[in-house]
A = this chain, B = another copy of it.
Amino acid sequence: MKYLFGADIGGTTVKLGLFSEAGDILDKWEIRTDRSNGGENVPADVVKAVNDKITEKNIDRKDVLGLGVGVPGPIKADGTVLKCANLGWGIFNVTDKFTELLGLPVKAGNDANVAALGEMWKGGGMGYQDIVMVTLGTGVGGGVILDGRIRAGEHGGAGEIGHIRVNENETRLCGCGGHGHLEQYASATGVAYLGTEAAKKNPDSLLAKEPAISAKTVFDCAKKGDKVALQVVDDMCEMLVIALSHVAATVDPQCFVIGGGVSKAGDILVDTLKKHYGKNMLNALQTTEIKLATLGNDAGIYGCARMVLDGAK
């Protein structure tokens, strides 16, 4: 039996997974991310965690195919990180560093991209090899998988779907300094903002009676039939569809996979997206599949492990 390791490095914890070559998860665990001294201990900590697991499970090192590493920032196809503000890392080659420490093959990718790869392999995008995943969390991330591999992009910026401008009339600023970006509408923060504004204008709505308005309360009220909340969901999905239509006109994927905390809303999200999808697009592009992600927070470790099998571009 051959083994794969995945390590999805976040600002607070590193999620780790041990997989069979076929993609069955055999073990998963976490370690704390040590951000002291510009995150310099992170590579050694991760490698130690992997080595400890090899020992604990009594695995023969020659049966380990390698380690995939996900990092929270832009990373080029050759493994060079450009900036990981969350970790304090400067510019260096992650693949080289981890390979040197571990002595086994290592592949590295951006966290949103590895999550997309994980969903393609064992999640909502299973059965496809060309998918685009959109992660609706605090922000909006994205990952583009073409021919079964991560598309990193020349500047590590492929799949930055959250910063596609979807509303040129928007005056509010996005976190990145732009305005009218998808993230301002489709992130958890964005949905909460839209919900709060709608509640102010409609004090008699179910939504307005909520003590605090989050993305979850917006979707919960919508499911109860509150027209104001339903309109917020509709508006948010319309913005998301605008971005998806731009992505489709560029790479024409087989399937969009929607993940992140907001996607826990479930079918209402996919149904509303499908209602709008196809508007204002060429006929040829109107039939792309839209599915929910299924791996949750484990998508990253799955994708990390998968990178070892395929390499990443």
Which residues of A are in contact with B by a Cβ distance under 8 Å? 74, 82, 130, 132, 144, 146-147, 151-161, 163-165, 167-169, 176, 178-180, 242, 245-254, 280-285, 287-288, 313
Contact between B168 and A154 (Cβ–Cβ < 8 Å)? no
Contact between B282 and A176 (Cβ–Cβ < 8 Å)? yes
**A160–B161 CA distance with the chains assembled, in angstroms:** 18
Which B residues are CB-close (under 8 A) to A165? 242, 245-246, 280
**A245–B159 CA distance with the chains assembled, in angstroms:** 12
Which B residues are CB-close (under 8 A) to A253? 153-154
**A247–B251 CA distance with the chains assembled, in angstroms:** 9
**A74–B248 CA distance with the chains assembled, in angstroms:** 14
- Distance to closest chain B CB from A257 (angstroms): 14
Interface of chain A: mostly helix, strand, loop or mixed? loop
**A158–B281 CA distance with the chains assembled, in angstroms:** 12
Which B residues are CB-close (under 8 A) to A153? 130, 251-253
**Given that A281-B178, A285-B155 are known contacts, is A250 also in contact with B247, CB under 8 Å in the complex?**
yes
Most buried by B among A156, A250, A254, A282: A250
Most buried by B among A146, A159, A179, A287: A146
**A269–B154 CA distance with the chains assembled, in angstroms:** 24
Contact between A163 and B281 (Cβ–Cβ < 8 Å)? yes
Which B residues are CB-close (under 8 A) to A168? 167-169, 242
Contact between A160 and B130 (Cβ–Cβ < 8 Å)? no
